[in-house]
Amino acid sequence: MMGQPIIFIDGEAGTTGLKLAALIRETGQFELLTLPLDLRKSAEKRREALNDCDIAVLCLPDEAARESVSLISNRNVRVLDASVAHRVSPGWTYGFPEMTVGQQKCICEARRVSNPGCFGIAAVSLIRPLTDAGLIAPQQSLSLFGISGYSGGGRGLIDAFEDSSGLDPISSNYYVYGLSLQHKHLPEITLHSGLKTPPVFVPSVGRFRQGMIVMLPLHRSQTAHPGARAGPALLPLFEATYAAHYRGARHVRLRTAASFRTAVTLRLDPEALNDTNDLEVFVFEDAAEEGRALLVARLDNLGKGSSMAALQNLRIMCDLSEPTRLDSGPPSLQKN
């Protein structure tokens, strides 16, 4: 690839597209191909741009993303899709570089990469290390609970929370949705977590713009590993598993229980990682019974859950990024 890689964002005017475009301009590592505002809905101009770039980034609704892929005839154009459309499609690489040791290499070599969803990457970050280690059986039934900032719902939900004079304002501070149990991220979570059974997933939205937490509660009886079944405590086993799985990872790290032992009251702020590309994993346990655990992932839904993850994937695809995993050094065990 000669010169700076040329990036075209199809759907630049959306929440993810706007943030990603700003991040790309800040890096100075890419040339951003843009269309004038009055031409962004022109099928012909979009087709030209999609075929004139090195990487097309799709920040579009699912059907529109599929349409954009169909418009690409230039075999040299690579695609990074931020929609749900291709996250479980054959021939597409899942854009979570820290998911396994070899995933970054797969992304680097891929022609088609699907950027993870915010709830998706959080759930996979918790479950995949456990299925890989044999602590959770693929057929195990699990339950997930999550809360996200309202920016995860795109422009419509942002306006509903921020504009009380709009057509459909939201006055509540919190609500649960996805009560049909058919959330759009479930296929992604199931496949990339290594599960055979879709979890019960209960998402919610809070009155804060960005940031999120996803929780996986577990009883000892849900584990498959003899060491977990025999005890005595789940916490050290889970912490050791996450430490090994994310050893040397720059953007995914384990926060150990030791970080919280001096706290009078345990609290996790969903906004703590806002404006970063980081994801933190926590393990909590019932100290009295030692048979119940709570696994938690925390991230920025617009960061590691969206635009910043897309920038990370672009850098990897263009071989411009810092290594996602360090070449050497101790496991990423954070004490504070």
Q: Given pLDDT bands bounded at 50, 70 and 90, which one contains residue 327? A: very low
Dihedral over Cα of 42, 47, 95, 28: its sign:
negative
175 has pLDDT over 60: yes
Q: Which amino acid is at 300?
A: D
Q: Given pLDDT bands bounded at 50, 70 and 90, which one contains residue 334? A: very low
Which of 189, 38, 48, 215 has the alpha carbon at shortest distance from 128?
A: 189
Average pLDDT, rounded, for the chain: 89
Helix (H) or strand (E) holding 58: strand 55-58
For the question of residue 59 being annotated catalytic, the response is no
Average pLDDT over residues 125-146: 96
Share of the chain above pLDDT 90, in %: 73
Q: Which of 53, 59, 108, 118 is catalytic?
A: 118
108 has pLDDT over 60: yes
Average pLDDT over residues 13-17: 89
What is the rounded CA–CA span in Å between residue 287 and residue 243? 21
pLDDT tens-digit readout, 216-236: 999 988 998 766 666 667 888
CA distances to 7, 250, 259 from 53, rounded to whole Å, are 6, 29, 46
What is the rounded CA–CA span in Å between residue 295 and residue 126? 7
What is the rounded CA–CA span in Å between residue 178 and residue 175? 10
Are the CB atoms for 273 and 247 separated by under 8 Å?
no
Are the CB atoms for 101 and 94 separated by under 8 Å?
no
* Residue 323: predicted pLDDT: 62
pLDDT tens-digit readout, 298-319: 999 999 999 999 999 999 999 9
* Residue 164: predicted pLDDT: 74
pLDDT tens-digit readout, 49-77: 999 999 999 999 999 999 999 999 999 99
* Residue 336: predicted pLDDT: 28
Give the 3-state secondary structure of residue 166: coil
* Residue 260: predicted pLDDT: 67
pLDDT tens-digit readout, 267-277: 899 999 999 99
Helix (H) or strand (E) holding 203: strand 200-206
Average pLDDT over residues 140-163: 92
Share of the chain above pLDDT 70, in %: 89
Least confident of 32-46, 206-220, 226-240: 226-240
Six token digits for residue 20: 């990603």
* Domains of the chain with CATH codes: 6-115+308-317 (3.40.50.720), 118-304+326-334 (3.30.360.10)
What is the rounded CA–CA span in Å between residue 161 and residue 67? 31
* Residue 76: predicted pLDDT: 97
What is the rounded CA–CA span in Å between residue 214 and residue 145? 6
pLDDT tens-digit readout, 45-56: 999 999 999 999
CA 21 to chain centre: 18
What is the rounded CA–CA span in Å between residue 184 and residue 200? 12
* Residue 332: predicted pLDDT: 32
Q: Given pLDDT bands bounded at 50, 70 and 90, which one contains residue 28? A: very high
CA distances to 127, 238, 239, 274, 281 from 257, rounded to whole Å, are 19, 11, 9, 22, 11
Are the CB atoms for 56 and 80 separated by under 8 Å?
yes
What is the rounded CA–CA span in Å between residue 128 and residue 212? 19
* Residue 97: predicted pLDDT: 97
In the sheet with 55-58, reading across from the earlier edge strand, the strands are 31-33, 6-10, 55-58, 78-81, 112-114, 93-94
Q: Given pLDDT bands bounded at 50, 70 and 90, which one contains residue 291? A: confident
* Residue 182: predicted pLDDT: 87
